[in-house]
Structure 1
Amino acid sequence: MYPAELVKPMREHLTSAGFSELHTADAVDAAITAEGTTLVVVNSVCGCAAANARPGALMSLNNDKKPSNLVTVFAGVDREATDKARAHMVPFPPSSPSMALFKDGELVHMLERHHIEGRPAELIAENLMDAYNEYC
């Protein structure tokens, strides 16, 4: 578990843009199975989360179509919520950071760490916007 003061600015990077933090398995289930589309960002303390994942997720919201719900869990901090979110992302293996788009509870698009690491935030945003245009 990472200290709260260490992850606070990393959490706020997403929550200040309208993402809701999920801390329990029940909250994850409710968010993912909600009607409409839900983007789940598995946040992380790693450099690729700071340089690529979080900025890419935020840039992706500059699109005409976007998810109905924006939520985040924090790997290494909110274990119960992260484990439950990852269970919804099967058959993809656990990775952080990662992003998943759900539509009416069904996983329709996934970005794993290897899709994020080493790629510019703009490319990640473009990938997500393409998914929003198809599913939202």
Structure 2
Amino acid sequence: MYPEDLVMPMKAELTQNGFTDLSTVEAVEEFLQKKGTTLIVVNSVCGCAAGGARPGVVHSLTGDKKPDNLGTVFAGFDIDATNTARAAMMPFPPSSPSVALFKDGELVHMLERHHIEGHSPQMISENLQQAYNEYC
């Protein structure tokens, strides 16, 4: 498990931009039951989370359409919560970072690490905005 002083600033990049910190199994389960569209980010300490995922996800929210609910878990820190979120993302294998869009509890769009790693924040943002335009 990663130390709290390392993780908290990385969590803050999302929570300061409207994301709910989902640190327990119960919080994730309750969050996934929300009506409408729900975006869950599996955050991570890796470079592609810092250089692509977090800035890309935050930028994706600048368009006209955006998810109703924003949540995040942190891989390697919120272990049980992350496992619960990943179970809802099946059949996709565990991946961090990753981003999942749900509509009324059903997974409708997924960005795995290989969609994030090596891609610019702008490309990640555009991918998500296309999904928002379709599902939100």
- TM-score interval for Structure 1 and Structure 2 normalised by the shorter chain: over 0.9
Query: Which residue is 1:20 aligned to?
Result: 20
How far apart are the structure 2 equivalents of 1:33 and 1:134? 20
Give the deviation of 1:47 after TM superposition. 0.1
3-state DSSP class of the match of 1:73?
strand
- Give yes or no for the alignment of 1:126 onto 2:126: yes
How far apart are the structure 1 equivalents of 2:118 and 2:71? 24
Query: Which residue is 2:46 aligned to?
Result: 46
3-state DSSP class of the match of 2:30?
helix
The alignment of Structure 1 onto Structure 2 pairs a total of residues equal to: 136
3-state DSSP class of the match of 1:58?
helix
Give the deviation of 1:72 after TM superposition. 0.1
> Unaligned regions of 5+ residues in structure 2, if any?
none
How far apart are the structure 2 equivalents of 1:88 and 1:65? 23
Give the deviation of 1:38 after TM superposition. 0.5
Query: Which residue is 1:114 aligned to?
Result: 114
3-state DSSP class of the match of 1:93?
coil
CA-to-aligned-CA distance 1:93-133 (integer Å, 9 cap, x gap)? 00000000000000000000000000000000000000000
- Give yes or no for the alignment of 1:73 onto 2:102: no
RMSD of aligned alpha carbons? 0.5
- Where do 4+ consecutive residues of structure 1 move more than 3 Å? none
- Aligned-residue sequence identity (percent) comes to 66
CA-to-aligned-CA distance 1:1-53 (integer Å, 9 cap, x gap)? 11000111101000010101001111111111210000000000000000000
How far apart are the structure 2 equivalents of 1:69 and 1:35? 9
How far apart are the structure 1 equivalents of 2:38 and 2:57? 13
2:32 partner amino acid: I
How far apart are the structure 1 equivalents of 2:109 and 2:15? 22
Query: Which residue is 1:55 aligned to?
Result: 55
3-state DSSP class of the match of 1:34?
coil
* TM-score where L is the length of structure 1: 0.99
3-state DSSP class of the match of 2:26?
helix
